[in-house]
Amino acid sequence: MSTTLEPTDRTRIRRGRNRAVADRTELHALLADALVAHLGVTVGDHPVVLPTAFAVDADGPDEGGTLYVHGSVGARWLQEAGDATVCVTVTELDGLVAGRSAFHHSMNYRSAVVIGRARVVTDPAERQHALDLIVDHMIPGRSATLRPSTRKELAATAVLAVPLHEASMKARAGGPVDEPEDVAAGIWGGHLPLTRVVGAPVVDHQTPAEVAVPDDVRARALHRA
Amino acid sequence: MSTTLEPTDRTRIRRGRNRAVADRTELHALLADALVAHLGVTVGDHPVVLPTAFAVDADGPDEGGTLYVHGSVGARWLQEAGDATVCVTVTELDGLVAGRSAFHHSMNYRSAVVIGRARVVTDPAERQHALDLIVDHMIPGRSATLRPSTRKELAATAVLAVPLHEASMKARAGGPVDEPEDVAAGIWGGHLPLTRVVGAPVVDHQTPAEVAVPDDVRARALHRA
């Protein structure tokens, strides 16, 4: 796999090229941090954008690696997405930038846009692998601690694969980039960092009192989301 | 404005109707909490989904109220979106749900899908109002503390309005909904809450040492993002 992103005409960054990120390791770092993807599918004559859990197999069967999403087999967007060109966008918000003018207010973020032909995953082994990856992306190590999925559960779940080949990434960090005259006027400028925090595990009312929080859940709570 | 959401065929929730939210005040609460929207636009023969700052005017000129986004006048997605049907999706992730099986792993979230014809805002007063709302959505009260935008800054900025009329909302909260046999097996089940935290303001190196953090920036840092 190439270590750089190779934008095509569809993913080439036109505006704000100073924010373009060309390193494939940064793409994978973002995809590892983020928990939700926004999947765009054309339904009829307009786009529909839906939030979805996802996972990545950098060594997956698609060019550039594979991004997996899953959903109900009855979901219309999954039916529409099969064999269609979709867009998967993953964004992490890192801060609010308080510029010295309205124009220079901004946000700190990392964002990846992936465009590719969605493939409905039919191979049972790849489907199982993808579903394990999605659970482990939420809570690392968890899939190995759970009972096997039943045939009925697997039959109810559709898995889509999107190649990571056509991807572009943008990122912004730090404080404002202001007009010289606003800086010279001695106005305050800076930014507010944003972080996502995982709280302590909340046990449900159906868990017997003597059952301890599993190690994987406990470990997840100790890490930044 | 109606106090309930009025899904059309395009925004009607087909799957997971138990997660549908029909109260327009909950839509506005989500739009007040969220900082980023994902805008889907058809470019050529496929959807493109881009993250963007946004703001809402519940009493705006469009049916159901108006959601505003802005961008560079040169941005291709903004050019494509004008007068086209777009999808704006806003998602807040509230937790990770550790079910007793892979199938019942889930996420807690609030998500709104808005579909509508995007209108390029040309009226100078509405443009200025929209840009003020976008700055104030990031940091409440901030626009009133900044110098007026210059003619050049305004000319470089495009503003799109999307009616909030066609909107649907889904939400999930709490612990897993597991199979009775997995519950009977005495397996731990629960969830991990996720919250976004605003850190202390970071002053930039161009701010004179004697200039205090503005009240609006300080107040923003004290609130949950």
pLDDT tens per residue, range B123-149: 999 999 999 999 999 999 999 999 999
Distance from CA of B61 to the nearest CA of A (A): 23
Cross-chain residue pair B201–A194, CB shorter than 8 Å = no
Q: Which of A130-134, B76-80, B83-87 has the lowest mean pLDDT?
A: B76-80
B28-67 tens-digit pLDDT = 999 999 999 999 999 988 999 999 999 999 999 998 999 9
Q: How confident is the model at residue A17 (pLDDT cuts 50, 70, 90)?
A: low
pLDDT above 90 covers a percentage of chain A that reads 79
Nearest chain B residue to A183, by CA: B206
- Counting one residue from chain A and one from chain B, the pairs whose CB atoms sit within 8 A come to 307
| Number of other residues whose CB lies within 10 A of the CB of residue B140 | 12
The stretch B190-213 carries a mean pLDDT of 96
Provide DSSP, chain A.
Answer: --SB----TTT---S-GGGEE-BHHHHHHHHHH---EEEEEEETTEEEEEEE-EEEETTSSSTT-EEEEEEETT-HHHHHHTTSEEEEEEEEEEEEEE-SBGGG-EEEEEEEEEEEE-EE---HHHHHHHHHHHHHHHSTT-GGGSPPPPHHHHHTEEEEEEESSSEEEEEE-SS----HHHHHTT---EEEEEEEEE---EE-TTS-TTPPPPHHHHHHHTS--
- C-alpha separations of A196 from A105, B36, B176 in Å: 22, 14, 22
The residues spanned by each domain of chain B are 17-222
Cross-chain residue pair B207–A201, CB shorter than 8 Å = no
Tell whether the model's pLDDT for residue A8 goes beyond 90.
no
Distant-in-sequence, close-in-space partners of B201: CB < 8 Å, separation ≥ 6? A98, A190, A191, A192, B213, B217, B218, B221
Nearest chain A residue to B52, by CA: A107
Rg (CA), chain A: 20
Cross-chain residue pair A206–B220, CB shorter than 8 Å = no
Option in A42, A134, A198 nearest B194 (CB): A198
- Cβ burial, residue A86 (10 Å; 0-12/13-18/19+): buried
CA distance A218 to A139: 10
pLDDT of residue A14: 56
Option in B51, B205, B217 nearest A91 (CB): B51
Nearest chain B residue to A35, by CA: B93
Q: How confident is the model at residue A22 (pLDDT cuts 50, 70, 90)?
A: confident
CATH 3.20.20.140 fits A17-221, yes or no: no
Output the average pLDDT for chain B.
91
Q: Which of A2-16, A165-179, B169-183 has the lowest mean pLDDT?
A: A2-16
A146-172 tens-digit pLDDT = 999 999 999 999 999 999 999 999 999
Residue from B96, B111, B166 whose CB has the most chain A CBs within 10 Å, to mutate: B96
Q: How confident is the model at residue B73 (pLDDT cuts 50, 70, 90)?
A: confident
pLDDT of residue A74: 84
CA distance B192 to B195: 10
Option in B105, B174, B199 nearest A195 (CB): B199
Cross-chain residue pair A46–B143, CB shorter than 8 Å = no
Output the average pLDDT for chain A.
91
Tell whether the model's pLDDT for residue A1 goes beyond 50.
no
> Residue A68: which of B218, A81, B139 has the closest Cα?
A81
For residue B206, list chain A residues with Cβ-Cβ distance below 8 A. Answer: 178, 183, 189
Pick the CATH number of B17-222 from 1.10.260.40, 3.30.43.10, 2.40.50.100, 2.30.110.10: 2.30.110.10
pLDDT of residue A55: 98
Distance from CA of B6 to the nearest CA of A (A): 17
For residue A205, list chain B residues with Cβ-Cβ distance below 8 A. Answer: 175
pLDDT of residue B8: 66
Tell whether the model's pLDDT for residue B14 goes beyond 60.
no
Distance from CA of B1 to the nearest CA of A (A): 24
A95-149 tens-digit pLDDT = 999 999 999 999 999 999 999 999 999 999 999 999 999 999 999 999 999 999 9
The stretch B4-21 carries a mean pLDDT of 62
pLDDT of residue B2: 42
